[in-house]
Chains A and B, each alone.
Chain A
Amino acid sequence: MLRLQDVSKSFPGVHALKNISITFHAREVHALCGENGAGKSTLMHIIAGSLLPDSGKIYWNGEAVQVHTVQHAQLMGIGIVYQEDTLAGSLTVAENIFPVNPPRNKIGLIDYAALHAQARQLLEELGQSAISSKARVDILSPASKQMVEIARALAQQPSLLILDEPTASLTTTETNILFTVIRKLVKKGTGIIYISHRMAELPVIADTISVLKDGEYQGSFNAKQTSAEAIVAKMVGRVLEKTPYISHAQNKIALEVQQLCGDGFRDISFTLYKGEIFGIAGLEGSGRTALAKTIFGDKQPQAGKLLKDGSPAEIKHPADAIAAGIAYLPEERKALGLFASQDIASNIGVASMHGYWYNYGLNSTAAREFVAQLGIKIRSVTQNIQELSGGNQQKVVLAKWLRTNPDVLIINEPTHGVDVAAKAAIYELLKKLTAAGKSILLISSDLTELLLISDRVMVMYNGSARTILQREEMTEEKIAALASGI
């Protein structure tokens, strides 16, 4: 259905794609794998018409075409769901699903009744009848927003649908619903290009896996017959070692949360030990992020106490939390973590600006130290942060917090949209931190991740803690069941 031949694209200083030739078929889920910066996004942008290739040909149903604009691609029948939030927050769900061609009545005005009916139907097909078509988009959870994005792409009835990390913000249940929808679409004859960093999903949903590395095509493989290890080896060019589980938990208490209540959660109590990785599992909206924000002082608690190193901590603002030795890595990197207009050195130094005078030299030196320590791939610390890949940006945000030298590090979805190699590096780093006596509160939707590195896991459901599981009691099934309220 879509065939790329010798497609190349360069940006100033980078050869993003080198002679890529791939064929995508109808009735097929074609997964595209590669580390961040491997060229997946560039390839998607070219197919979707938002970038033009420097050279090479694109054949659509056998005919050579040039996809000049996104509108052109849509007319041809290519739909795309981007990883980032591209919805208009102040408009309703239905309006977002039909941004260009809403149903009209006889005199050409928008027919709202039909608009909502059609939107509801699309959402139902996605198993999302809980999302009201009349709801404003900015009140939705990230997972629901993702579903709306998918509904918007489906509204165009594409014959080729590109999904860029669609499950990154979805829970297991939602992922399964999405997979059902994908299978339905494939049966109807749609071709799917599926980009994901979650290797475990691929054998479940994909038929073919193509691998890119540093802008070069590494081959296509049968998804059912190729092991995840083999694919990862192709992606990184070597065999990755699994992070072994070692506990660094000590018998000293770092943080005590006592009957904490706040906006979206109630009566949460737990103890975080020095050197411990304490996982928090739960669905979107289970109160885990609200809990983290309250501990960090971004939200005010309604009741309860917080003890840091045995003494009560008065935390009313993130600045107080930082002073108390608590750091918080938020889940939405772009929206809550990065300063796009600032260079890397400033991004790393922002939470450690003390005293009256600002010293550029010292700040750069310190930034360079952390860049080296975390293995962040950059040209210079004065480089703009936007030029980095997702994994490297995440490491910059981590560096910002490590520079404050915290005792307790709260991290929310640290590997969201981060590739396998960078994931392994982040786990390695977390282990190193706990070995140095730092404690980590790990909030994650990725159960594999929780099982891999946590010493204990607290499961939240609907604002309360269901239980705290010891390492021996943790299984993926158990956590998933508790998190969905079963």
Chain B
Amino acid sequence: MASVPSDLSEAAEDAAAQEKARERELEKLLVQKAIEKDGAAFAELYDKHVVRVYRHIYYMVNDTRETEDLTAQTFLKAWEAVGRYKERGAPFVAWLLRIAHNVTVSHLRAKRDHGELEDVFVDVKMDRNPEQALEQSTDEKNVREAVQKLREEQRQVIMLRFVEELDYREVAQVLGKSVPAVRVIQHRALGNLRKIMQG
């Protein structure tokens, strides 16, 4: 009897692993079709990843209209570039996130150069009690501001590791670096974040 729950959980794990493998195969197929310029396949990839791309950009700009513009730019650029996409073991979404990141960084640089960059980190969480929301939003705001102040490479590692929750191997593949190099960048970035937040 005691082995029943264990058997059940193993069966559930097997089923989940099989489902993941099936999803990976399906995505590979869609990516291959998109590379061959199949618009419907690209639209399916869009359906699958648009929310994640949108949220990645929102983290950096904190403005709905700008996020929508940059999300559109990201997918249009991805369609232009998908013919050159090479599968290197990282999930397809990691490639999309790299495009999103580059598009957003260019946008923020242009804004900064034109003196338009304001304090954009306003509270957007209306579903908490006001005191809690204020305290938490201040912390989140400070962290997000600090992340934006990191050097480009460090910011990208921090966002991919802790906002997108990719593992070291995936981040290394996205950035074309070794896993130890990503670990070093992450360590330096976290140290710099501490310094920035301590003022």
A and B: interacting chains: no
Query: Which B residues lie at the A interface, using CB under 8 A?
Result: none
Query: Which A residues lie at the B interface, using CB under 8 A?
Result: none
